[in-house]
């Protein structure tokens, strides 16, 4: 009997110790697979687990394209669902909220004044983090989705300075062409890299109502405004601004070619900074300038194109409290400083000022802080098939496949076939 009691006591102790060591697993799916940003994410996860031994964080990473094509769609409907997932602000967040995947984070953001730690602009109507006045996306990064990166060494060798107007930009490209350089490298196999820039060019010359109407399918693309935008793109093609293999080159090889110094300029987003840290030589010296002013009378002449990216808590997650705990840790000042120093602009108040930013990230921060307006990329704001069709039409003009007029006719025909989205 005594032996039986001893065994029972032992088993009880074992069960109790098991309870004490019970670990909640939270699953987080995202599209960060490498570079300085991934190193920081891994570090944040490790620090969080050390500070919260009752929570284990499991990362489910996908490369960027796989994540947006099939990775997220299958994860969202899987079992178990990811507790936290990466998302782009705007159209995807609204869709997820309406479909019941995204949790309303109003209460979480009110607790401990968490919501007040973010810069107020991320909670504005145009930021794409809110749906019907309720927050669904915890901003993690402010991304400039297109700026024109340039090789400072080549610019200095040729006595060039960043242009302030479109005419200066064209003149600069002509100089580079005469010197036998590849002025602009584009890897546009997937259409979005140049499409982002082409939509910023359009946003700077097309009347805003006309621009929105076309992408919302309440108006046409074949307008004087869009014709003007595509004419500017044709100017670039005519003077030989782009690499010959633009249409077939991937986005990553194009970025690598720029970082290797084989091309002078590369229009792409602020995420180039993280890749340059990983791939660039120590003496690779680069900076950026925004698309120069094209129409001085246009209300968005000085705008930047960018978006907010961040994290959504799955509405069906059974560990929402733990997920919020992780996100509060992720967005605390110390961790955001680490992320900013790795090249991600922080949406948390004061972080970008306190962090020891590299010159390029600092430039991005200043660009965002001083820009009078931010234009979101069409593929995160409007129906994707319509945005893609515009991207393709712009690419046709950039490579000389179609004239601006023909491209706009093709574009309206294509959007008509797609039907109302």
Rule CB under 8 A: is residue 164 a binding residue for other proteins? no
Distance CA 53, CA 41 (A): 18
Rule CB under 8 A: is residue 180 a binding residue for other proteins? no
The terminus-to-terminus CA distance of the chain in angstroms comes to 75
Least distance (Å) from other proteins to the CB of residue 250? 9
Nearest one of 405, 1, 8 to 222, comparing CA atoms: 405
CA angle, 142 as apex, 153 and 72 as ends, to 5°?
110
**Residues 386-415 interacting with other proteins (rule: CB under 8 A):** 388, 392, 395-396, 399, 401, 414
Show the site string, 188-227: x = touches other proteins by CB under 8 A, - = not: -xx-------------------------------------
Rule CB under 8 A: is residue 161 a binding residue for other proteins? no
**Residues 341-380 interacting with other proteins (rule: CB under 8 A):** none
- Residue 368's contacts (CB-CB under 8 Å, 6 or more residues apart) are 142, 144, 304, 306, 345, 374
Rule CB under 8 A: is residue 73 a binding residue for other proteins? yes
Helix (H) or strand (E) holding 72: helix 72-76
Rule CB under 8 A: is residue 186 a binding residue for other proteins? no
Least distance (Å) from other proteins to the CB of residue 194? 12
Nearest one of 188, 185, 198, 290 to 242, comparing CA atoms: 185
Place of tokens 């019970």: 22
Least distance (Å) from other proteins to the CB of residue 140? 21
Rule CB under 8 A: is residue 61 a binding residue for other proteins? no
Q: Do 251 and 187 contact (CB within 8 A), yes or no?
A: yes
Rule CB under 8 A: is residue 39 a binding residue for other proteins? no
Least distance (Å) from other proteins to the CB of residue 26? 22
- Counting beta carbons within 10 angstroms of the beta carbon of residue 133, is it exposed (0 to 12), middle (13 to 18) or buried (19 or more)? exposed
Rule CB under 8 A: is residue 133 a binding residue for other proteins? no
The number of beta carbons lying within 10 Å of the beta carbon of residue 356 is: 9
**What's the distance, CA 220 to chain centroid?**
27
Helix (H) or strand (E) holding 149: strand 138-151
Q: Which stretch binds other proteins (CB under 8 A): 22-30, 69-77, 169-177, 317-325?
A: 69-77
Q: Which stretch binds other proteins (CB under 8 A): 12-20, 98-106, 212-220, 363-371?
A: 98-106
The number of beta carbons lying within 10 Å of the beta carbon of residue 145 is: 26
Rule CB under 8 A: is residue 249 a binding residue for other proteins? yes
Least distance (Å) from other proteins to the CB of residue 134? 18
Answer for which of 101, 226, 286, 326 binds other proteins (CB under 8 A) is: 101
206 vs 395, beta carbon nearer other proteins:
395
Least distance (Å) from other proteins to the CB of residue 37? 24
Show the site string, 251-280: x = touches other proteins by CB under 8 A, - = not: ------x----x------------------
CA angle, 89 as apex, 121 and 67 as ends, to 5°?
150
Distance CA 229, CA 415 (A): 18
Rule CB under 8 A: is residue 248 a binding residue for other proteins? yes
The number of residues that bind other proteins (CB under 8 A) is 34
129 vs 399, beta carbon nearer other proteins:
399
324 vs 395, beta carbon nearer other proteins:
395
Distance CA 361, CA 282 (A): 17
Alpha helices (H) in 222-357, listed in sequence order: 224-238, 251-259, 272-279, 320-330, 333-341, 351-354
**Contact residues for other proteins (CB under 8 A)?**
68-70, 73, 76-77, 95-96, 98-99, 101, 189-190, 243-249, 257, 262, 384-385, 388, 392, 395-396, 399, 401, 414, 417-419
């Amino acid at each position: 009997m005594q032996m039986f009691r001893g065994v029972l006591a032992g088993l009880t102790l074992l069960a109790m110790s098991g309870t004490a060591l019970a670990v909640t697993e939270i699953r987080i799916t995202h599209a960060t697979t490498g570079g300085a940003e991934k190193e920081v994410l891994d570090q944040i996860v490790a620090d969080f687990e050390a500070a919260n031994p009752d929570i284990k964080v499991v990362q489910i990473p996908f490369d960027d394209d796989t994540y947006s094509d099939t990775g997220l769609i299958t994860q969202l409907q899987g079992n178990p669902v990811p507790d936290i997932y990466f998302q782009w602000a705007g159209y995807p967040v609204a869709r997820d909220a309406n479909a019941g995947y995204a949790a309303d984070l109003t209460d979480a953001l009110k607790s401990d004044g968490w919501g007040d730690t973010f810069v107020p602009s991320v909670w504005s109507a145009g930021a794409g983090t809110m749906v019907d006045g309720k927050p669904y996306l915890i901003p993690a990064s402010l991304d400039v989705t297109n700026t024109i990166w340039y090789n400072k060494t080549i610019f200095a060798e040729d006595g060039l300075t960043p242009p302030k107007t479109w005419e200066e930009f064209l003149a600069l490209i002509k100089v580079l062409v005469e010197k036998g350089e590849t002025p602009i490298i584009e890897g546009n196999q997937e259409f979005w890299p140049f499409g982002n820039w082409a939509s910023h060019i359009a946003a700077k010359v097309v009347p805003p109502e006309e621009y929105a109407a076309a992408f919302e399918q309440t108006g046409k693309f074949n307008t004087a405004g869009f014709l003007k935008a595509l004419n500017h793109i044709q100017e670039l093609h005519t003077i030989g601004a782009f690499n010959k293999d633009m249409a077939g080159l991937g986005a990553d090889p194009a970025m690598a070619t720029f970082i290797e110094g084989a091309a002078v300029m590369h229009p792409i987003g602020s995420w180039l900074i993280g890749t340059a840290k990983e791939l660039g030589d120590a003496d690779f010296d680069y900076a950026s300038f925004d698309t120069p002013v094209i129409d001085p009378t246009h209300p968005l002449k000085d705008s930047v194109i960018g978006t907010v990216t961040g994290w959504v808590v799955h509405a069906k997650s059974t560990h929402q409290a733990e997920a919020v705990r992780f996100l509060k840790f992720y967005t605390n000042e110390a961790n955001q400083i680490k992320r900013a120093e790795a090249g991600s602009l922080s949406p948390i108040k004061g972080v970008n000022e306190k962090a020891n930013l590299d010159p390029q990230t600092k430039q991005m921060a200043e660009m965002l802080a001083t820009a009078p307006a931010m234009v979101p990329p069409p593929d995160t704001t409007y129906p994707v098939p319509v945005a893609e069709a515009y991207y393709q039409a712009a690419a046709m003009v950039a490579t000389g496949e179609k004239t601006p007029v023909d491209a706009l006719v093709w574009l309206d025909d294509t959007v008509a076939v797609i039907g109302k989205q």
